[in-house]
Structure 1
Amino acid sequence: MKEYTVTATRVHGLWELDVPGVGVTQSTTAGGAEEMVRDYLDCLGVAEADTAPIAIVWHIAPEIDARIIEAREDAAKAAELQAQASRINRETVVLLKERGMTGRDIAAVLGISEQRVSQLSKAA
């Protein structure tokens, strides 16, 4: 399935959506951009218009564009680190339970709530 990387640029109060190799369409709102691209692809007879991956690259001003990219990259890193911490906590909960520790003690040692200990125990 083809992925579409769309360049979105603000022009005269509208979002111009450039779909490389396909053409250009517009959206009145940033939130409606993906839907407009899908409608455009559908009008052109693209079979996977409803399901094709669409990535929108926003072009507002160079200094803002860079901040948007930085924020998204940082958010992705944070999500990855959060997943890693959850995995490590899950494994650690199991190890601490094997040593006979209570949920309350495990929560105190790991700096998490007893409810979270319970959740991690069930997930492990």
Structure 2
Amino acid sequence: MTDGQIMEPPQIFARRAGDGWVLHMEGVEPTYIRRLDGAIERGRNLMEAGEVPGVEQGIVLKIDLGDELNQRVKASTQATVDAHKAQMAAAVELRRTAAALNEHGLTGRDIAHVLGVSPQRVSQLLNDQQARG
């Protein structure tokens, strides 16, 4: 490695084995662990003992559940991210709509009725919209 080059942190690859996990790391013999919540600490200890470079920068844990389950985990994680983005976009649109209704002279209570929210929520939406500009 040359000066100024950023070293990637070492990785632990966890693969299911029986009722636990086998941890695979470069420069260290594989080891068995019962639960994943101790994998990084165990891996760090073994890599430090084996003088694996980069441990001080952190460790990346990669979990291999096989193709089918890996794809399911990836899809469900992406669905959660997409849902969060949609919720954020919906909140922006709700603030804009409340502001537009307000600009058209509707009262807070009427806006609440139209949007199906409480009058207190309308107040929050209008205050948020004003603060955001």
Q: What is the TM-score when the length of structure 1 is the normalising length?
A: 0.66
Unaligned stretches of 5+ residues in structure 2: 1-5
Per the alignment, residue 66 of structure 1 pairs with 71
Change (3 A) 1:63 1:98: same
**Does the C-alpha gap of structure 1 residues 71 and 22 become closer, same or farther in structure 2, counting only changes over 3 Å?**
farther
Matched, 1:106 2:106: no
Return the letter of the residue paired with 2:56: A
Is 1:75 the counterpart of 2:80? The answer is yes
Q: Secondary structure at the match of 1:101?
A: coil
Larger Rg: 2
How far off its partner does 1:84 sit?
0.7
Distance 1:8 1:121, change over 3 A: farther
Structure 1's unaligned 5+ residue stretches are none
Q: Does the aligned pair in 1 maintain the 2:10–2:55 contact within 8 Å?
A: no
Q: Does 1:123 find its partner at 2:124?
A: no
Aligned to 1:46: 55
Matched with 2:3 is none
Show the counterpart of 1:7. 13
The count of residues paired between Structure 1 and Structure 2 equals 118
TM-score between the two structures when normalised by the length of structure 2: 0.62
The percent of aligned pairs where both chains have the same amino acid is 31
Q: Is the 8 A contact 2:9 2:55 kept in 1?
A: no
RMSD, aligned CA = 3.2
